[in-house]
């Protein structure tokens, strides 16, 4: 006979709750299907503006790993270096979508080509938009 019946009951209850009730964080993470990865890899190099990057993130953010992760960084670098005059559109999207903001910050990395990184850093230092402090700081600090 068990000397600690209440302890076993509590442990049993904890085990039941842990195994029966789904992890809401795990449920909210959508798995990347191979077809999605293929489509994302095909489309990423054709992104021409901030809305396109945001749409790709919304559709394929769950696939952001490996080669695609590098391609997203390269695309971000291309957009930042060539479309700085439209960076307000990026800031607006990031203001309304915190996950997209985290995505942008994640992709300010070593996968941005050096020539583009120099242009981006110069723009961040000398032409930072009013609402863009978080972005410019991330760029300069990298």
pLDDT digits (tens, 9 = 90+) for 121-132: 999 999 999 999
Assess whether pLDDT exceeds 70 at residue 13.
no
Tell me how far apart the alpha carbons of residues 72 and 106 are, in angstroms, rounded to a whole number. 10
**123 is written with which tokens?**
């723009």
**Percent of the chain clearing pLDDT 70 (strictly above):** 80
Assess whether pLDDT exceeds 60 at residue 101.
yes
pLDDT for 29: 58
Assess whether pLDDT exceeds 90 at residue 75.
yes
pLDDT for 97: 98
Tell me how far apart the alpha carbons of residues 82 and 94 are, in angstroms, rounded to a whole number. 19
Assess whether pLDDT exceeds 50 at residue 16.
no
Tell me how far apart the alpha carbons of residues 103 and 72 are, in angstroms, rounded to a whole number. 9
């Amino acid at each position: 006979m068990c000397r600690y019946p209440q302890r076993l009951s509590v442990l049993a209850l904890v085990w039941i709750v842990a195994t029966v009730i789904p992890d809401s964080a795990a449920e909210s993470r959508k798995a990347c299907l191979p077809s999605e990865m293929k489509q994302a890899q095909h489309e990423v190099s054709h992104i021409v503006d901030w809305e396109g990057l945001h749409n790709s993130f919304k559709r394929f953010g769950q696939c952001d790993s490996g080669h695609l992760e590098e391609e997203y960084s390269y695309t971000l670098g291309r957009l930042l270096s060539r479309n700085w005059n439209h960076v307000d559109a990026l800031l607006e999207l990031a203001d309304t979508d915190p996950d997209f903001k985290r995505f942008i910050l994640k992709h300010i990395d070593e996968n941005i080509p050096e020539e583009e990184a120099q242009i981006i850093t110069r723009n961040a230092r000398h032409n930072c938009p009013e609402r863009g402090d978080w972005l410019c700081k991330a760029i300069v600090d990298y």
